[in-house]
């Protein structure tokens, strides 16, 4: 049960809140609720992302709070300009929340300053108190993230690569079925291609958090090369989807369907090889299955080359499809150069 990252995150957050509330109860710091709220918002899905969010929150509290305080002190005392800045800070805080947390944290600090200025008052003393309380809340968050069931960014990242492999396998099966049948599978293929793209995006986000934690088993450069290879593999695989929508002659593919299936399976096996090597912290060593399958396909295609039943368009489609497969496989096999020996 404790392998569930959501449960572990909940335990971390509850523990941090308990510590923050205990400090508030025993020491009665001024505005101590700020540290409690900081603990609530800084936890993220992995240790690396929690560290990143904590550092950004502290930095933007200092920067945003200081600039907003200076702006508040030089502005006229009327409410209207305060309301305008308050609304603008809320607007940009929400806009930046998903894609640019640094900007969202900055706008949140500006919001706090002008909200308190509007409903009560604001001063340099309150700014210092807020900074100290934010530092306290961020420190509690980091302690709990490190020592209470830590959720390693690297483990989360490596756990998502098999999900990408599974989705790529399903997409490849749909592509092969569409290749051999005129039945329209556009929606299914586009949906699965989008699922793969979402996973790639999540992998890139996790990679961005990787440098914020220690104790990794893989170097950042190694994982970066792997993610680049997966991205290229996806690019060529997904490029087959729009190409299939304009496929004109399936006759040659129907004759070569067994060889094409073996070739596509061999390329996907390289994805599984990559995943297994990462899990075992070993060098990525691909077998020669793809090469032998491609040779078998070429030999059968050569025997059919003189058969007049196949049109010129059928051969053009065949060469285009095999180009995509070769490019997909080469995108993965470049890892034999970049992945260090262990």
Query: Could you report the per-residue pLDDT of 144-199, keeping only the tens digit for each?
Result: 888 888 888 888 888 888 889 889 989 988 888 888 887 767 788 889 999 999 99
pLDDT of residue 145: 85
What pLDDT score was predicted for residue 341? 45
* Average pLDDT of span 211-235: 82
Mean pLDDT, to the nearest integer, of 318-330? 88
Residue 337 has pLDDT above 70, yes or no: no
Please give the pLDDT value at position 61. 92
Residue 128's pLDDT is what? Answer: 93
pLDDT at 194: 92
Chain segment 197-219, per-residue pLDDT in tens: 999 998 988 888 887 777 677 77
Looking at per-residue pLDDT, the higher value among 28 and 224 belongs to 224
pLDDT recorded at residue 342: 44
Regarding the domain delimited by 153-338, which CATH topology (the fold level of the hierarchy) does it fall under?
A: Methane Monooxygenase Hydroxylase; Chain G, domain 1 (1.20.58)
| pLDDT of amino acid 65 | 93
pLDDT score at 25: 77
DSSP 40-64: HHH--SSHHHHHHHHHHHHHHHHHH
Average pLDDT for 47-70: 90
For the beta carbon of residue 66, count every other beta carbon within 10 angstroms: 15
Average pLDDT over residues 296-323: 88
List the end-to-end C-alpha distance of the chain, in Å, as a whole number.
Answer: 33
Q: What is the pLDDT of residue 338?
A: 46
User: Greater confidence, 43 or 176?
Assistant: 176
Using the predicted structure, report yes or no on whether residue 282 has a pLDDT greater than 80.
no
* Helices vs. strands in the chain: H and E counts, helices first: 14, 0
Q: What is the pLDDT of residue 64?
A: 93
**% the chain with pLDDT above 90:** 19
Mean pLDDT of 268-286: 79
Instruction: Write down the mean pLDDT value for the chain.
Output: 85
Residue 200: its pLDDT value, please? Answer: 92
Question: Of 142, 134, 140, 141, whose CA–CA distance to 31 is shortest?
Answer: 134
* Phi-psi category of residue 78: left, alpha or beta, with phi > 0 → left and psi -120 to 50 → alpha: beta
Given a cut of 90, is residue 69 above it in pLDDT?
Answer: yes
Tell me the C-alpha distance between 174 and 184, whole Å: 10
The reported pLDDT for the residue numbered 336 is 59
Nearest to 177 by CA among 189, 192, 195, 165: 189
Kindly write down the DSSP assignment for every residue of 152-182, as one continuous string: -HHHHHHHHHHHHHHHHHHHHHHHHHHHH--
Residue 110: predicted pLDDT:
92
Is residue 74's pLDDT more than 90? no
Q: Which sequence spans correspond to the domains of the chain?
A: 5-147, 153-338
The reported pTM is 0.78
pLDDT tens digit string along 79-130? 888 889 899 999 999 998 877 888 999 999 999 999 988 888 888 999 999 9
Q: Which of 1-5, 61-65, 295-299, 328-332 has the lowest mean pLDDT?
A: 1-5
pLDDT of residue 1: 55
Other Cβ atoms closer than 10 A to 240: 25
Mean pLDDT along residues 324-328: 88
Question: pLDDT grade, residue 2 (50/70/90)?
Answer: low
% pLDDT > 70, the chain: 96
Asked if 165 and 275 count as a contact pair (C-beta separation under 8 A), the reply is yes
Region 273-297: what's the mean pLDDT? 82
């Amino acid at each position: 049960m404790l392998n569930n990252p959501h449960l572990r995150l909940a335990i971390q957050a509850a523990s941090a809140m308990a510590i923050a509330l205990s400090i508030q109860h025993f020491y009665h710091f001024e505005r101590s609720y700020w540290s409690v709220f900081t603990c609530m918002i800084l936890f993220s899905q992995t240790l690396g992302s929690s560290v990143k969010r904590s550092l950004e929150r502290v930095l933007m509290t200092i920067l945003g709070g200081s600039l907003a305080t200076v702006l508040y002190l030089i502005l006229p005392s009327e409410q209207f300009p305060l309301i305008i800045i308050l609304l603008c800070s809320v607007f940009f805080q929400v806009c930046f929340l998903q894609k640019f947390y640094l900007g969202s944290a900055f706008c949140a600090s500006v919001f706090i300053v002008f909200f308190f200025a509007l409903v009560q008052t604001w001063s340099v003393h309150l700014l210092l108190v807020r900074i100290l309380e934010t530092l306290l809340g961020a420190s509690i968050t980091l302690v709990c993230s490190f020592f209470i069931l830590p959720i390693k960014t690297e483990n989360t990242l490596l756990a998502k690569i098999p999900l990408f492999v599974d989705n790529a396998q399903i997409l490849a099966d749909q592509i092969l079925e569409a290749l051999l049948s005129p039945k329209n599978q556009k929606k299914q293929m586009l949906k699965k291609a989008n699922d793969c793209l979402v996973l790639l995006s999540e992998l890139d986000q996790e990679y961005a958090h990787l440098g914020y934690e220690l104790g990794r088993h893989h170097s950042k450069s190694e994982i970066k090369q792997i993610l680049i290879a997966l991205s290229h593999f996806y690019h060529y695989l997904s490029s087959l989807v729009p190409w299939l929508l304009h496929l004109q002659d399936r006759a040659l593919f129907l004759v070569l369907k067994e060889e094409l299936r073996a070739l596509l399976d061999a390329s996907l096996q390289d994805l599984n090889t990559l995943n297994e090597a990462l899990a075992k912290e070993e060098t990525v060593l691909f077998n020669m299955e793809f090469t032998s399958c491609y040779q078998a396909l070429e030999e059968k295609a050569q025997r059919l080359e003189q058969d007049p039943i196949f049109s010129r368009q059928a051969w053009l489609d065949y060469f285009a499809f095999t180009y995509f497969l070769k490019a997909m496989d080469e995108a993965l096999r470049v890892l034999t150069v970049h992945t260090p020996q262990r």
